[in-house]
Structure 1
Amino acid sequence: MVREQWRAAVRWLGWEGAAVARTAGSAVRYSGPERDAMVQSLKAAGAAIAAWALTGWWLDAPLALMAPWTAILLVMGTVYRSVYSGAQQFVVIVVGTLWASAAMAVTDDSTLGAMVLTLPFMVLLGNYRRLGSQGIYGATTALFVITYGASTLADVGHRLLETLIGAVVGVAVNAFILPPVHLRSVRDNLHALARESGDLLTTVAQGLREEGGLAGAGGWHDRACRLGQTVQALADARQWRAESYRFNPGWRMRRRGLPPPPVRIDALWERVGAHLVALTRTLRNAAGEDAPLTAPSQAYLARWADVAESAGTVCGAEAELIEGAGTAQTLRDQRGAALETAWVAYEDLTRDLPQEEAAAIAVAGELIVETQQLLRELAAGIDSPPAA
C-alpha cells in the first residue's frame, strides 16, 4: 500500500514537472500568455526592489517592508487594475494603520490587547465586497503595525508614506515599463487551447498503439483537466482586453493586430476540453489491474487511436488558423480532410463495438458517445471558423 502511494506521488511529481517544463518552454518559444506572466512577474520583482531602495536605503524608513510589499501587489494584469486596486489598497492600509496604532496607544503597546481590539473589526472590513480582493490587506497591515510595536505620530506617518511610495512605484512600473496591453491575449489563449487539445489527442493516440498503452492514462487525464486553466485564462483575457486601454500610456505604441475571434468560439473550445476530460477519465478508470472498469481490447483501443489522431490533426490545423500561421486555404483543406478521416474511422469503430466482450462494452460505448460529441464540436468549428 505504501509502495503504491510512493509510486503515485512519483507519477504526480513527474506530471507536475512536465507541466512546468511545458509552461517554461512556451514562455521562451512563444509570444503569449506564458511570456506575459513571466514579464509581469519580473516587473513585480523589480518594483519591489525599487520601492525598497527608495524607502529602506535612501529614506532609511523604520518599516520599509511596507513599500515593496505594496509595490509587488500592484503590478497587475492591466494598468487600470493597478490604479483602481491601488486606490482601494491605500485606503484599506490607511484604515488598518490608524486603527492598529490607536489600539496600541489605548492598550499601552500591549500586542495581545491591540490584536483583540483590531483584528475582529479589520477582518470583517476585509470581507466588505466593495473592497474586493484588497480588503484583507487592512488586517495584514494592522498585524505589521502591531508586531512592530510603535504607535507615535511619526511612526504612523512613516508607515503611510512607505505605503504611498510602494503604491506609486508599483503603478508607475506597470504603466511605463512594458505596459500590459492585451491585444493578443484572447487569440493566444484560443491558440493555446486548440494546440494543447491537439497535442493531447496525438499523445493519447500514440500511447494507445503501444503495448500497455493505458499506463499513461492518469497523465492524460491530468493534462485534460489543466485545459480548464486555459479556459479561465481565456475568460480573463476577454475582460483584460476591455481594460487594456484605460489609463494606459503605452497603448498607442502597440500594434492593433487582428481583431479577436468571436466570443462563441470560446464556448466551443471549452466544450471540446470538457469532452477530452471525459474521454481521458474513461481511459484512466480502465487502466491498471485494479481498475474499476474493464478496458476494451488492444485492437479496439488502437482503432480508437486512429480517430483521436485525426481529431488531433483537426485541432492542430485550427490552432494554426487562429494564430494566422501558414496558408489559410491549405490549413482549411488539411482540417477538413482530417475531420473526414476521423468520421470514417469513427464509423468503423461503431461497427466493431458488438465484437467487444460484454464487460468492456461500458467503456467502449462511453468512448464512442464522447468521441461523437467531440467530432461534432470540431465540425461546428469548421462551419464557423474562428480565424478573423
Structure 2
Amino acid sequence: MATAVGLLLHDTVVAMALVLPLAMLLGQWGRLGSQGIYAATGALFVLTNGSVSVATSAARLGEALFGALVGIAVNALVRPPLYLRDSRAVLRDATEEAHDILRTVGAGLAEGRWDAEEAGTWHERALRLHRLVEQAHSAVVWSRESLRANLRRRRTGTVTPADKGFDDAVVVLDYAAVHTAGVTRTVLEAAAGDRSAPRPHPELARRYAEFLCQTAHTLRLYSHSRFGDECEDDLCEAVTGLRGTLQDLRRDLARSTTDDPDEVATYGALLAQAHRLADRLVVSGT
C-alpha cells in the first residue's frame, strides 16, 4: 500500500498522511497478532527510505518475497520453529506458582497469620500469576502457529499443543489466577488496619485453609495429568475430595454461630471464590 501510494504521489508528507492511518487500522487485524504493530512501521520505512521508484520498489518487494519463500520452505519441509517444549515449561511454571501461592495462603490462614504486609505480598504474587498465564497462552499460540502447513510434522507425528490439552490447561490456569487473586484480595482487606472486612472465625479460617491446600494439590495433579504423567486416578480422587470439602465449607458457614454479618460476608466472599475455582477443576478433571 505504501509503495503504491508512493509511486502515485511524489509528496512524502501527503503519502504518509494517507497511508499511516490505514496502516494503523490494518495493524489491529486479529490475524496479524502481535506482528500488527509493524504495519505502520513498514509503511513509514518505505516512504522515508529515499525516493519511491519502480526500480527500488521492485527490489524491495522482491527481497520481501524471497524472505517469505525461504521461511515457508524451511517451515514446511525442514523444521518449524517449534516452541512446544517452551509452552509446556511455561504452563508448568504457572501451575507451580499457583500451587505455591495457594499453599502459602493456606498455611498462613491455618496459623492465624493475618499480617497486612504478608497478605499484600500474597496478593502481589497472585497478580503476577495472571501475567504468567498470559505468557503461557502466547507460547501455546506460537507453538500452534509454527506447526501450520508443516509437512515434516505429519511424517514424524510431532505432538501439537492441542493434542495435549494445552488450551484446556490455559483456561484452568486463568481461572486459578483470577480466583487466587480474589482470595488474596479478600484476605488483604481482612488484614488491613482499618478492618474494613472482618476476619472470619478461626475455625472457619482453618477449614478454608485446608481447602486451599487441597486445591493446590489438585491443581498440581491436573498439570501432571495434562503433560504426560500417569496420575489420572489420583486426579479423580483429588477432585472427589475437593467436591466433598466444598460441601463441608457450605455446612460450616450454615452452622456458624457468629452474629456479625460482616464476618459472614468475608467468609462468604472466600467461599464464592472457592466455588468458582473448584467448579473449573471438577469439570476439567472429570
Q: Does the Cα contact within 8 Å between 2:3 and 2:57 map onto a contact in 1?
A: yes
Match of 1:307 in 2: 211
The Cα shift of 1:308 comes to 0.5
Q: Does the Cα contact within 8 Å between 2:164 and 2:227 map onto a contact in 1?
A: no
Matched, 1:151 2:56: no
Q: Does the Cα contact within 8 Å between 2:211 and 2:242 map onto a contact in 1?
A: no
Tell me the SS of whatever aligns to 2:149: coil
The Cα shift of 1:333 comes to 6.6
Q: CA separation in 2, counterparts of 1:290 and 1:272?
A: 28
Match of 2:273 in 1: 370
Match of 2:21 in 1: 123
Instruction: Return the structure number with greater relative CO, CA threshold 8 A, min gap 6.
Output: 2
Cα deviation digits, residues 7-66 of structure 1 (max 9, x gap): xxxxxxxxxxxxxxxxxxxxxxxxxxxxxxxxxxxxxxxxxxxxxxxxxxxxxxxxxxxx
Matched, 1:216 2:121: yes
Q: Which amino acid aligns with 1:378?
A: L
1:202-351 mapped onto 2 (5 Å cutoff): 202-208=103-109, 209=111, 211=113, 212=115, 213-226=118-131, 229=134, 232-233=137-138, 236=141, 240=144, 244-256=147-159, 259-261=163-165, 271-290=175-194, 292-296=196-200, 300-329=204-233, 331-332=234-235, 335=238, 338-339=241-242, 342-343=245-246, 346=249, 349-350=252-253
Tell me the SS of whatever aligns to 1:252: helix
- Name the count of aligned residue pairs: 278
Q: Which amino acid aligns with 1:367?
A: L
The Cα shift of 1:97 comes to 2.4
> What TM-score do the two structures reach when normalised by structure 1?
0.55
Q: CA separation in 1, counterparts of 2:144 and 2:272?
A: 37
Counterpart of 1:141 (choices 30, 42, 45) is 42
Match of 1:166 in 2: 67
Q: Which amino acid aligns with 1:161?
A: G
Q: Does the Cα contact within 8 Å between 1:126 and 1:138 map onto a contact in 2?
A: yes
Matched, 1:100 2:6: yes
C-alpha change, 1:135 and 1:119, in structure 2 (3 Å) is: farther
Q: Which amino acid aligns with 2:124?
A: G
C-alpha change, 1:192 and 1:309, in structure 2 (3 Å) is: same
Q: Which amino acid aligns with 1:160?
A: L
Give the alignment's Cα RMSD to 1 decimal.
4.4
Cα deviation digits, residues 314-364 of structure 1 (max 9, x gap): 2222222222314543x2475257536734763574267433755433212
Q: After alignment, is 333-342 or 186-195 more displaced? A: 186-195
Q: CA separation in 1, counterparts of 2:196 and 2:128?
A: 21
Q: Does the Cα contact within 8 Å between 1:317 and 1:332 map onto a contact in 2?
A: yes
Match of 1:92 in 2: none
C-alpha change, 1:154 and 1:121, in structure 2 (3 Å) is: closer
Match of 1:48 in 2: none
Q: CA separation in 1, counterparts of 2:64 and 2:139?
A: 33
C-alpha change, 1:298 and 1:166, in structure 2 (3 Å) is: farther
Q: Which amino acid aligns with 1:97?
A: T
